[in-house]
Amino acid sequence: MSINLSELKEVIEYICIEKNLDINEVKKSIEIAIAGAYRKEFGQKDASYAVDFDLNTGLYTVFKTMTVVEEVLNPAQQLSVLEARLTKPDAMLDDVLKTSLELDQQVNFGRISSQIAKQVLTNSVQNARHGKILQQFVDKVGEIVSVEVDYFHKGGYYVKLGQTHGFLSRENLMPIDKFKSGIHIKALIVNITEDNQGNAKIVLSRTHNDFISALIRSEIPEVASGLVNIEKIAREPGFRSKVLVSAADDADIDPVGSILGRKNMRIINILREVNTNMQEKIDIIEWQPEDVDLMIMDCLEPAQIERVDYNEATKHADVYCYKDEAALAVGRRGLNIKLAQELLDIELNLVTIDGENPETSLSQESKSDSSIILE
């Protein structure tokens, strides 16, 4: 027997057109929901049910489904070939037989199914709207966005991102990131994932290396146009970044100067976007594979390096500087030499010079500092 949902037929068709929903997907969702409701209210717990909802008439029918199998292990959902052929002579293995159920005794089920259909339709509209909003951001993964901080919850910040929200988790925040509701910050769209409830979530980051590269790309026209390339980034979020850059093959341009800007104003603007107090420093180094020694010296600025002995086969370099330059070469928290090694993929051994006699180790204080970061 069938139950009439004709009062919903026109509503479903209208909303699907108005909201640009796939009517067949909505129909399928309604069928699945009604079948589940029937099993819960009136059916066998282990049985399988299906619903056929006819959009043309507004009628739907509930069926009990049984799968034809060689050996019956679940009598509530399976039957043998012999049993199946009693009702369907040409039944074969894996066929699904449907038996229409009488619903005239289920006086309340028409009302229940109508409510379910309305709820499914409402959910479909909400999900479609949310899906369209999220789709706008799928193509923006890897891009910088400006967001408004909304509220702090469970170790992270929920931020307003157009008509939806993004999330900055603790691991995607720099140590110095402390925000008040209502302020605007820059963040990188890292991914679109699902939360524990299956809802889509826009994951943002301010610690990812690509945060720096995407920020530079968004602020520096020469990088955005491809005249200047970002080769690699080494970063300790919140403290220091080193960026290796090069000019395009056909570009007569200074890649470092393009990013620094006149009186360093371009890099200063970028630093302000990273953190308002400009605590994280950004070093821009030119990629010079034909002169690795010079590139190593540039990487260790502001220290004055006297000489570099680089072994290409072992990817190892002895770097010579005077004692009073050693602390600068190592850097605060050991980050200058640590990030230089990471950026160039070269092991750097710092050798201090006392007059004309090279020493193979730092002074005791400098050695203690550098041993932490060279381990």
Provide the pLDDT for residue 362.
42
Is the model more confident about 217 or about 372? 217
Question: Could you tell me the pLDDT band of residue 275, with boundaries at 50, 70 and 90?
Answer: confident
Provide the pLDDT for residue 123.
74
The arithmetic mean of pLDDT across residues 5-29, rounded, is: 76
Query: Is 39 a residue whose pLDDT tops 90?
Result: no
Instruction: Give the DSSP H/E element, type plus range, for residue 62.
Output: strand 59-69
In this structure, of 54-58, 132-136, 251-255, the range with the lowest mean pLDDT score is 132-136
Provide the pLDDT for residue 331.
93
Give me the CATH code for the 290-375 domain, please: 3.30.300.20
Tell me if domain 140-205 and domain 290-375 are identical in fold: no
Pairing of strands 2-4, 59-69: antiparallel
Contact 234, 242 (CB under 8 A): yes
Q: Please give the Cα distance from 305 to 129 (Å, whole number).
A: 59
Question: CATH assignment of 2-137, given 3.30.70.1230, 3.90.1170.50, 3.90.1310.10, 3.30.1480.10?
Answer: 3.30.1480.10
Give me the CATH code for the 140-205 domain, please: 2.40.50.140
Query: Is 27 a residue whose pLDDT tops 50?
Result: yes
Query: Is 63 a residue whose pLDDT tops 50?
Result: yes
Query: Is 230 a residue whose pLDDT tops 90?
Result: yes
> Strand pairing partners for 166?
159, 202
Q: What is the pLDDT of residues 304-346, one digit of tens each?
A: 999 999 999 999 999 999 988 999 999 999 999 999 999 999 9
Provide the pLDDT for residue 197.
59
Q: Please give the Cα distance from 248 to 259 (Å, whole number).
A: 14
Query: Is 66 a residue whose pLDDT tops 60?
Result: yes
Question: Could you tell me the pLDDT band of residue 129, with boundaries at 50, 70 and 90?
Answer: low
Report in angstroms the alpha-carbon separations of 255 from 30, 41, 99, 297. Answer: 59, 70, 74, 17
Query: Is 1 a residue whose pLDDT tops 70?
Result: no
- Sorted by where each begins, the domain ranges of the chain are 2-137, 140-205, 290-375
DSSP string, 123-183: HHHHHHHHHHHHHHHHTTTT-EEEEEEEEEETTEEEEEETTEEEEE-GGGS-TT----TT-
